[in-house]
Amino acid sequence: MERSRRLTPTAIALCGLAVVLPGCQDTTAPTVERAERIVYTSIPDRFLRVFAMEVDGSNPTALTADMQTNLEPSWSPDGAEIVFTSWRDGDQNIYLMESDGENPRALTSDPANDRWARFSPDGRRIAFVSERDGNYEIYVMDADGSNQVNITNSPDSHDLEPTWSPDGRRILFTSTRDTTAAGVGYTLWTMNRDGTDLVRLPVEGGARSGVWSPGGSRIAFTSYRDDGDAEIYIMNADGTGQLRLTQSPGVDEMPSWSRDGSRIVFATNRDGPPEIYVMDVNGTGQTNLTRDTHWDAMPAWRP
């Protein structure tokens, strides 16, 4: 990952006068300010492929090849890499590639399906879902694919869609456990990064695809409470203050926060095939970004 130092205004001015001045050499790695982009999954022809676009929907660029199935992309914390799910080896495995699609390499190789990978905020670990134990469980591994550990260990439920809190201490996830209490198939839970201290969030009517805001004070999620129709909601991190943001007859799902927490990108089929939309955090200004006839979904905003 890239690092660098920031020069003070005085140092910048001095470096502009003479490149041989002491202190002007780049002795530490620079911090690269990467442009805001959205990565997503699309079916331009027959295969699911990973694309990236500008936050206004312009410049859509394919990052994975045709004739392969690749999906569920997500950024590394510095925006330099993208972790994603790929079927290129005959079953679902977790892959990592550069942000321009170069240098793809496998992080998992288990014959069971591995999917839905998300980086920890410090970039050192990746949470993902695997069914290698007979049901979907949440695992954590080092960023190079080593030390893969099951942290949910719940054979009687399916645990899915892990995302990290901004401080890296807890993981938010979707589960089928405790469905009697919830009265539905999916509920939202949090746990420590080692799988301890399980807490079910008070979201009734079915919910999934939860994701923390950049500051960690709020959570956006998909709820099925509205007559089974999927809509985007936000709430405080403890589950209070739940507010509905979308009200379309189609399925609105898979929210992802902008880096400043002011907007949310999501997928919806309100216009026919799924498209990528963006809206303000209060639900206003809902705008179609992809505007095509393709299947477009699973968006993730560059952190």
pLDDT given for residue 180 in this prediction: 57
**What is d(CA 115, CA 174) in angstroms, rounded to the nearest whole number?**
14
Q: Give the residue extent of every domain in the chain.
A: 1-33, 36-301
- Residue 80 sits at φ, ψ, to 5 deg, of -85, -20
- The b/e string for 23-45 (b: 16+ C-beta within 10 A; e otherwise) is ebeeeeeeeeeeeebbbbbbbbe
DSSP class per residue in 199-254 = EE----S-EEEEEE-TTSSEEEEEEEEETTEEEEEEEETTS-S-EE----SS-EEE
pLDDT given for residue 181 in this prediction: 52
Q: Which CATH number does 36-301 carry?
A: 2.120.10.30
Q: Cα dist. 77→99, 139, 244, 251 in Å?
A: 12, 19, 28, 29
pLDDT given for residue 152 in this prediction: 98
pLDDT given for residue 229 in this prediction: 85
pLDDT given for residue 41 in this prediction: 98
pLDDT given for residue 184 in this prediction: 60
pLDDT given for residue 129 in this prediction: 98
Run means of pLDDT, 10 residues per run, the chain, 303 residues: 32 29 36 79 96 97 96 98 95 97 97 97 98 96 98 95 98 87 76 97 90 97 87 96 94 97 97 96 98 96 95
Q: Please, are residues 38 and 265 in contact by the beta-carbon 8 Å criterion?
A: yes
pLDDT given for residue 225 in this prediction: 87
